[in-house]
Structure 1
Amino acid sequence: MSRSAPAKTVSATRSADLYRAVWRWHFYAGLLVLPFMITLAITGALYLFRDEIDGIMHRDLLRVAVVEGVERVAPETMVASALAAVPGQAVKYTDPRIENASAEITVAADDGARRAVYVDPYTGNVLGSLPDRGTVAWTIRYLHSLKFFGTVARGAIEIAAGWSILLVATGIYLWWPRRAGLGGVLTVRGAPRNRMFWRDTHAVLGIVVGSVIVFLAITGMPWSNVWGGKVNEWANGNNYGYPDGVRVNVPMSQEKLADKGLTSWSLEQAQVPQSAVPTTEHNHAEHDHGQPMAAPAPSDGAFATSDIGLNSAVATFEKLGLHSGFAVSIPSTPTGVFTGSVYPDDLSQQRVVHLDRYSGNPLLDMRYTDYGPLGRWLEFGINVHMGQEFGLANQLFLLAACMGIILLAVSAGIMWWKRRPAGSLGVPAMPSDPKIFRGLIALLAIGGIIFPLVGLSLIVMLAFDLLVMRSIPNRGMA
Structure 2
Amino acid sequence: MSLVSEPTPEGTASPPIAPPAPPHLRRSAWKGLALRMHFYAGLFVGPFILVAAVTGVLYALLPQLESWIYDEHLHVPATSRELPLADQVAAALATNPAGTLDAVRPAPNPGDTTRVLFTQEGLGESERWTVFVDPGTAEVRGELVTYGTSGVLPLRMTLDQLHRNLLLGEPGRLYSELAASWLWVVALGGLVLWIARWRARRIRRAADLVRPERGVKGRRRLLGRHGALGVWLLLGMLFLSATGLTWSTYAGAGISDIRAQVGWSTPALDTGGGDHAGHGGGAPGAPVPVRPGQFDSVLTAARGAGIDARQVEVGVPAEAGGPWTVTEVKRSWPTQVDSIAIDAGTGTVVDEVRFANYPFMAKLARWGIDAHMGALFGVANQVVLVAFGIGLVTVILLGYRMWWVRRPDAGRPAPLVGRGQFRELSQPVGFAVVLAAVAIGWLAPLFGLSLLAFLLVDAWRGYRAAQREAAAG
Letter in 2 for 1:200: G
Matched, 1:90 2:101: yes
Supply the distance in 2 between the matched residues of 1:38 and 1:469 (Cα, whole angstroms).
26
Structure 1 pair 107/86, CA: closer, same or farther in 2 (3 Å)? farther
TM-score between the two structures when normalised by the length of structure 1: 0.78
CA contact (8 A) 1:219 1:381 kept: yes
Aligned positions of 1:292-311 closer than 5 A: 302-303=290-291, 309-311=294-296
Does the aligned pair in 1 maintain the 2:165–2:171 contact within 8 Å?
A: no
Give 1:9-88 correspondences, 5 Å limit.
10-67=22-79, 69=80, 71-88=81-98
**Structure 2, unaligned runs of 5 or more:** 1-18, 148-152, 469-473
Instruction: Summarize the Cα distance change of 1:233–1:303 in structure 2 as closer, same or farther, 3 Å threshold.
Output: farther
Match of 2:185 in 1: 166
Q: Which whole-Å CA distance do the structure 1 matches of 2:216 and 2:111 have between them?
A: 50
Residue 104 in structure 1 maps to residue 115 in structure 2: yes
Q: Comparing 221-230 with 423-432, which one deviates more in the overlay?
A: 423-432
Q: If the length of structure 2 is used for normalisation, what is the TM-score?
A: 0.79
* Equivalence map 1:202-241=2 (5 Å): 202-236=226-260
* Cα distance, 1:143 vs structure 2: 1.6
Matched-pair contact (CA < 8 Å) for 1:87–1:110: no
Distance 1:112 1:162 in 2: 30
Tell me the SS of whatever aligns to 1:421: coil
Shift in Å, 1:440: 4.2
User: For residues 315 and 58 of structure 1, what CA distance do their matches in structure 2 show?
Assistant: 30
Is the aligned partner of 1:419 residue 2:368? no
- 1:117 equivalent in alignment to 2:131: yes
Tell me whether 1:180 sits opposite 2:202 in the alignment.
Answer: yes
Tell me which of 216, 224, 242 is aligned to 1:200: 224
What amino acid is aligned across from residue 173 of structure 2 in structure 1? R
Matched-pair contact (CA < 8 Å) for 2:116–2:133: yes
Corresponding residue SS for 2:169: helix
Q: Please give the alpha-carbon distance, in whole angstroms, between the structure 1 residues aligned to 2:123 and 2:242.
A: 37
Question: What amino acid maps onto 1:136 in structure 2?
Answer: L
**Paired residue total:** 423
> CA offset at residue 406 of structure 1?
0.9
2:324 to 312, 333, 338: 338
**Residue 65 of structure 1: SS of its match in structure 2?**
coil
Identity %: 23
Whole-angstrom CA distance in 2 between matches of 1:112 and 1:221: 25
Q: What is the CA-CA distance between 1:141 and the residue it aligns to?
A: 1.6
Match 1:126 to one of 140, 146, 153: 140
d(CA) in 1 for partners of 2:413, 2:116: 55
Shift of 1:428: 5.3
Offset at 1:164? 1.2
| Equivalent position SS for 1:149 | coil
**What is the aligned partner in structure 2 of residue 456 from structure 1?**
449
Structure 2 partner of 1:284: none
Amino acid at match of 2:64: E
Deviation at 1:404, TM superposition (A): 0.9
- Kept in 2, the 8 Å contact 1:236–1:375? The answer is no
Deviations 1:404-454, CA, capped at 9 Å, x for gaps: 111111111111111113379986542455513636444433432443442
Root mean square deviation of aligned Cα: 3.5
Offset, 1:252: 2.0
Q: Which residue of 2 aligns with 1:283?
A: none
Contact 1:41 1:405 in 2 (8 A): yes
CA distance in 2 between partners of 1:58 and 1:75 (Å): 22
Distance across 1 between alignment mates of 2:51 and 2:367: 24
Does 1:322 find its partner at 2:308?
Answer: yes
**Structure 1 Cα separation of the partners of residues 221 and 240 of structure 2:** 27
Match of 2:150 in 1: none
Aligned counterparts of 1:251 and 1:398: Cα–Cα separation in 2: 37
How far is the alpha carbon of 1:110 from its aligned partner?
A: 8.3
Q: Distance in 1 between matches of 2:255 and 2:50?
A: 27
Conserved in 1, the CA contact under 8 Å of 2:163 and 2:176? no
Tell me if the contact between 1:184 and 1:199 (Cα under 8 Å) persists in the aligned partners: no
Question: What is the alpha-carbon distance in structure 1 between the residues aligned to residue 78 and residue 193 of structure 2?
Answer: 59
TM-superposed CA distance for 1:301, in Å, is 5.6
Larger deviation, residues 85-94 vs 162-171: 85-94
Using a 3 Å threshold, how does the CA distance of structure 1 residues 111 and 85 change in structure 2: closer, same or farther?
farther
Counterpart Cα distance in 1 of 2:48 and 2:342:
43
Matching residue within 440, 446, 471 for 1:447: 440
